[in-house]
Chains A and B, each alone.
Chain A
């Protein structure tokens, strides 16, 4: 009798401790990101904003009482690296969700793995659009949202009727300019030229001479970020090109370091550090406090990442569990008020966003010229 009693209490104790252990099992968020390769310059800022989100959530009691744990994996900014990163995150680390800013090549390689495993996946990088999966949500912009403010501004405010388009020869560059051309022609403008250089190309001589001979009213470029963007802008300025210049690939940080060459460039983003909302100021202050001098300037890639982690939190809380299907069903229903405003991924797995048209000033700072409220992403995935 006494013995069974003891055995019973031991069993009870064991059950209690294991129950407590299950309670404390953290929710794992997988972050495949390009720590090496083309995205390696921007990836650290994305990791930083993820860390802040996790820290804030854990300090406020976690998600459904469970802590959040980030599992970061390098996808090498490309397809091959993404396959191994997704495989190890999904099948070895058994993460509950994937939230990441990646190149389109990496996303396309990772998506089949996500579909097979049936995990929620929030893609937080702007991209060329029309990538659809029942498991994937996107909280960043697509061409429909970024290009229209620039073209509208050039046509209405600068009186531009003819355009010239220059890009890097890859999926994103061509996809953006393809949409730009269609939109310009639909709006009654004319495209005088559309030229591309390979991604590692640096000699824009012939294209710039062609641009000058055709004498368009405005110029829109969509190069790969970093080096090609800088070489093109420098050579344009060197050749004395002064027409209104919309750059789809430059971010605030690059504009700042480019100095006078970047002056006058128009950019269109869903996030600028100069947004004056309470949420943005709080976010910037928290980033500053956490990372100090090691802080990478928050940008249009790292802020959507931060917000996506909160959106996942809201979805899990609404679903009441981390069950993948329940979370995916809850994701379009929830919203989060972050640095970019209220974010809700309710438009065919994409997100209506407020877009800011900015112009780079002489000192490299970006002045907001115009705000376009809740720009619709259009029909991205009509079959979902």
Chain B
């Protein structure tokens, strides 16, 4: 029972961490970033490069975030900015970008599986069961991330500007907010979060050119169900992640794999705006 509870909490945390970057970009830019899976992969490979070079495994996370931020800034400037008036084309462009990134990674590192060292391994005793330490770390990271993103949006100048752009971009621009800069920083931030998430899940996964792909669909569903808000995303992760664990445990892990997608479709049928909006 304790294990089941921990499974639910840790799985939800993992989903929250992975989906956060996608949600930030969708929220501010109204853009579904289909390169999100590829950004996760870039994060995994960043971790591989960092530990291979002999650095401490904890450095993989900030390093991946920096790589992601720079990548995001460049992608925004070169690929997305010219397409802001053509939102559908911009979405297609991110999809193509995902393929290009995966191929570049294959070209450099090959198709095979790569490895990175884990910051910690083994188990910790909690609620009288020995449970994976790294999964518990992910819970702490998810909580910190949620708090940090909330603080960023509600207690900083950038957050205020971002919220203004979300509500009414034209009006915000009229008031002198540099919406182009807000978009650029947002995309960089979203990519940084995605890459850091990629580094954070590598202790539990293999690093290969398609490692991020299976997470893309689930993240996408979570973000839609969340209604694009941080508390909504937390709730969606807990709800859908929990359902996935329950179905996997009591029905079948194979059906568990499609739980999030099916449940998300049902929720969106009942509440088209997601959990946060009426």
Q: Which residues of A contact B (CB under 8 A)?
A: 40-41, 169, 195-198, 200-207, 209-210, 212-213, 226-227, 229-231, 234-235, 237-240, 254, 257-260
Contact = CB atoms under 8 A, between A and B. Distances in A.
Contacts of B253: 195-197, 201, 204, 206-207
Interface string B227-271: 000000000000000001100110011101100000000000000
A240 B132 contact: yes
Nearest to A236: B132
Contact of A201 (B121, B135, B214): B214
Interface stretch (B75-83, B92-100, B163-171, B202-210): B202-210
A226 B112 contact: yes
Interface stretch (B3-11, B23-31, B152-160, B189-197): B3-11
Given A196-B253, A209-B249, A234 B203 contact: yes
A210 B118 CA distance: 24
A227 to B, nearest CB: 4
B254 A196 contact: yes
Contacts of A258: 115
A328 B204 CA distance: 48
B121 A254 contact: no
A239 B134 CA distance: 9
Contacts of B134: 238
Contacts of A234: 203-206
Contacts of A197: 253-254, 257
Contacts of A229: 206
B113 A257 contact: yes
A207 B248 contact: yes
A227 B211 contact: yes
9 contacts: A213-B3, A226-B208, A227-B205, A227-B206, A230-B113, A238-B122, A238-B132, A238-B133, A238-B204
A205 B133 CA distance: 13
Contacts of B122: 238, 240
B112 A41 contact: yes
B113 A40 contact: no
B113 A227 contact: yes
Q: How large is the interface on B (under 10, 10 to 19, 20 to 34, 35 or more residues)?
A: 35 or more
Contacts of B181: none
Given A41-B111, A201-B214, A239-B132, A231 B205 contact: yes
Contacts of A227: 113, 205-206, 208, 210-211
Contacts of B112: 41, 226
Nearest to B124: A240
Nearest to B1: A213
Per DSSP, chain A at the interface is helix
A257 B115 contact: yes
B56 interface: no
Contacts of A254: 113
Given A169-B254, A240-B122, A257-B115, A231 B206 contact: yes
A230 B245 contact: no
Contact of B248 (A41, A205, A240): A205
Given A227-B210, A231-B205, 16 more contacts: A41-B111, A195-B253, A200-B213, A201-B257, A202-B205, A205-B7, A205-B10, A205-B11, A206-B256, A209-B3, A212-B3, A226-B208, A227-B113, A230-B115, A259-B117, A260-B121
A77 B117 CA distance: 31
A202 to B, nearest CB: 5
B4 A209 contact: yes
B130 A240 contact: yes
A106 to B, nearest CB: 17
Contact of B11 (A40, A203, A257): A203
A226 B133 contact: no
A213 B7 CA distance: 13
B131 interface: yes
Contacts of A204: 253
A361 to B, nearest CB: 17
A213 B250 CA distance: 13
Contacts of A230: 113, 115, 205-206
Listed from nearest, the 3 A-B pairs whose CB atoms lie closest are A206-B248, A230-B206, A240-B123
Nearest to A195: B253
Contacts of A259: 115, 117
Contacts of B248: 205-207
Contact of B203 (A196, A206, A212, A238): A238
B113 to A, nearest CB: 5
A201 B121 CA distance: 22
Nearest to A40: B111
Contact of A198 (B114, B133, B211, B254): B254
Contacts of B244: 203
A255 to B, nearest CB: 11
B67 to A, nearest CB: 22
A205 B210 CA distance: 20
Nearest to A235: B204
Nearest to B120: A238
Nearest to A213: B3
Contact of A206 (B7, B110, B210): B7
A209 B115 contact: no
Most central of A169, A198, A206 by chain B CB within 10 Å: A206
B56 to A, nearest CB: 16
B150 to A, nearest CB: 27
A69 B244 CA distance: 53
A213 B3 CA distance: 9
A200 B214 contact: yes
Contacts of B111: 40-41
A238 B121 contact: yes
Given A198-B254, A201-B253, A227-B113, A206 B214 contact: no
Given A40-B111, A227-B206, A231-B205, A206 B245 contact: yes
Nearest to B202: A234
Contacts of A257: 113-115
